[in-house]
Structure 1
Amino acid sequence: MTPSGPQSRKTERLVALVAIALVLFCPPLIIVVDRLPSPHIGWLSLYLFSAWAIIIGLAAWLMEHRAGR
């Protein structure tokens, strides 16, 4: 029997967050971002730091959002 309620929803959301992180940091996507044409902007570093910040922010929001209830 599977557990239901807030704990299972939290687990599902954390698994989804891991899946999003895997997609954001998969090598084919990073290669595409690395090869974007631009004379002045380093898109790869901007992408990596932005994706990292989004994952960390979502993880913090998921963990704190449930703790307050």
Structure 2
Amino acid sequence: MKPFGVKSRQTERLMALVAIALLLFSPPLIIVVDRLPTFSVGWLPLYLFIVWAVVIGLTAWLMERRSGR
């Protein structure tokens, strides 16, 4: 049986992750990244790929439960 505080802490962390993901994928921030000066490759695809990978990685890290915990 899990302690009461563990489940609510995980829920709070996941809600914070959703809020951060919404902020990182918000149109104003994407427009700023899209308008950065480019040399040969645009920054937008790179930004979207990196942010998406970070969100997936953080989600996996938060959802992972170790047997020792």
TM-score scaled by structure 1? 0.88
RMSD: 0.8
Q: In structure 2, list runs of 5 or more residues that go unmatched.
A: none
Q: Which residue of 2 aligns with 1:45?
A: 45
Counterpart-to-counterpart distance in 2, 1:59 and 1:42? 27
Structure 1 runs of 4+ aligned residues shifted over 3 Å read none
CA distance in 2, matches of 1:39, 1:61: 35
Q: Deviations over 1:20-64 (max 9, x none)?
A: 000000000000000101121210000000000000000000000
Over the matched positions of the two proteins, sequence identity in percent amounts to: 70
2:40 aligns to what SS in structure 1?
Answer: coil
Match of 1:6 in 2: 6
- Runs of 5+ consecutive residues of structure 1 not aligned to the other structure: none
Query: 1:23 matched to which residue of 2?
Result: 23
